[in-house]
Structure 1
Amino acid sequence: MSNSSVDLASQLCSRLCHDLLSPVGALMNGLELLADEKDPAMRQRCFELLEQSAKASTDKLKFFRLAFGAAGGFGEKVSTDEVRSLVDALVAGNDRITVSWVLGAAELSKPAAKVLLNFAHIALDALMRGGSIDIAAEVRGGTCEIAVRAMGRKVAFDRTIGDALEGRLAPEALSGRTAAAHMLHVIAAEAGGGLQHAVAEDALVLGAVLPEE
């Protein structure tokens, strides 16, 4: 494994740990409260919070398993229903975000599924103040086209993520914030496809064209 591959894997692990820290920390806090709490109503509330935190942790692990990992449990094709369920579960706890879908294919190749999931994750991160995410994917003539649009009052998009998507960020400059975008660039380049993005104050558009085997 090359140094650049090690760096990418390390930064992806850093991002995974960062995103899991909050729900896992909430689990620990809930257990500490439960140990000291005697009131039955408050103990019931602690159990509810523990259940919510456990679900959030599980949903994120399932999402990152396919978005970042090898996802050995999947074949070469991934059901778009599965992809949709992973994104919807990730967004479910945020009532300030709405997601709309237009899926013109029953299955996507694993690389295309990874691109779609990571686009959705980037879009979600960009909507710090809430908004809407539109996700579309279709397969035509052996080509998969993916488009994700985030719209809100204020879009927070780090320009280095755009640089990573388009291959302008050196591997040694990677961080937990940009590693996933760099991974998408590598996936698209190896597949013979391409990625695009456009950003404005209230909108972010991400697009990909990939060969669909």
Structure 2
Amino acid sequence: MTSQLDLAALLCSRLCHDLLSPVGAISNGLELLADERDPEMRARCMELLEQSAKASADKLKFFRLAFGAAGGFGEMVPTEEPRSLIASLVSANERLSLEWVVAEPKLAKPAVKALLNLAAIGMDALVRGGVLLVGAETRANKDGAGMTEIVIRATGPRIAFDATIGQALEGVLPTGDLSGRTAPAHMLHLLAKEQGGKLQAVHGPDMLVLGATMPAPTDLIG
């Protein structure tokens, strides 16, 4: 069984992997700026530095809430926050577009974590671009308990979805096969299990649908 320390290390590996490119671009840009004397080229270097710094900050903010304790929030999170985080990452890729169909003004923090992590999996799958749809609705189940239903739909000309990520979401991936790539899905499986929620994934050649059902406070039911 994967220990909490192992999982934390794998999540850190994923975070470092995603930050390596923009942080490396900042380092390279500073080196170029130090030697460049042409005003036009220096202006271009500054523009690239600003873009890389923004990309780094956007990813740190995203993973802070997706992976971390997100101490700046209580048990409920305004949905404008995950919308802003996802929109920032989508806007960094001109081949991606976002459809946001979340009407709820706020969601429980576990549901937000599920939404962000599933959205990240959906974005990773759109290797040739496409549309990322993010939806969530809170309602009562047949027993009257509040449940938040989340759906992430990635559609594009090609969907790249590693089967091991789907296995990690289901909790059937062998512990030894966990990596920085599958650790977020494994973390989601543990979160859903702890909360009494459910996860699902349906993969086709041009579409990936990811779903989560998480408990919600009854006062969120519209």
The TM-score bracket by the shorter chain reads over 0.9
Which amino acid counterpart does residue 198 of structure 1 have in structure 2? V
Matched with 1:60 is 59
Tell me whether 1:149 sits opposite 2:148 in the alignment: no
- Could you tell me which amino acid in structure 2 is paired with residue 149 of structure 1? R
Equivalent residue of 1:154, what SS? coil
Q: Which amino acid aligns with 1:82?
A: E
Q: Which aligned runs of 4 or more in structure 1 are off by greater than 6 angstroms?
A: none
List gaps (5 residues or longer) in structure 2: 141-145, 218-222
Q: Secondary structure at the match of 2:3?
A: helix
Q: Please say if 1:161 is aligned against 2:160.
A: no
User: In the TM superposition, what is the alpha-carbon distance from 1:74 to its structure 2 partner?
Assistant: 1.1
Determine the structure 2 residue equivalent to 1:131. 130
Hey, what's the Cα distance between the residues in 2 that align with 1:159 and 1:49?
36
Conservation of the 8 A alpha-carbon contact between 2:2 and 2:175:
no
| Residue 186 of structure 2 is aligned to residue 187 of structure 1 | no
**AA aligned opposite 1:182:** H
Q: Which runs of 5+ in 1 are unaligned?
A: none
How do 1:49-88 residues align onto structure 2 when only pairs under 5 Å count?
49-88=48-87
2:157 maps to amino acid: R
Distance 1:106 1:10 in 2: 33
Counting matched residue pairs gives 212
How far does the alpha carbon of each residue in 1:65-106 deviate from its partner, in whole angstroms, 9 at most, with x for none? Answer: 000111111111111011100000111110100110111211
2:98 alignment counterpart = 99
TM-score in terms of structure 2 length: 0.94
**Counterparts of 2:176 and 2:185 in 1: how far apart (Å)?**
14
Q: Deviations over 1:167-199 (max 9, x none)?
A: 101333210000000000011010001001100
| Contact 1:145 1:208 survives alignment (8 Å) | yes
With normalisation by structure 1, the TM-score equals: 0.97
In 2: Cα distance, 1:136 partner to 1:173 partner: 31
Q: Distance in 1 between matches of 2:192 and 2:174?
A: 17
Q: Percent same amino acid among aligned pairs?
A: 63
RMSD over equivalenced CA pairs, Å: 1.0
Give the corresponding residue for 1:171: 175
- In structure 1, how many angstroms separate the alpha carbons of the residues matched to 2:152 and 2:129? 16
Aligned partner of 2:213 in structure 1 is 209
What is residue 44 of structure 1 aligned with on the other side? 43
Q: Confirm or deny: 8 A CA contact 2:150 2:212 kept in the other structure.
A: yes
Distance across 2 between alignment mates of 1:16 and 1:198: 26
Residues in 2 aligned to 1:109 and 1:101: alpha-carbon distance in whole angstroms = 18
Distance of 1:3 and 1:136 partners within structure 2: 31
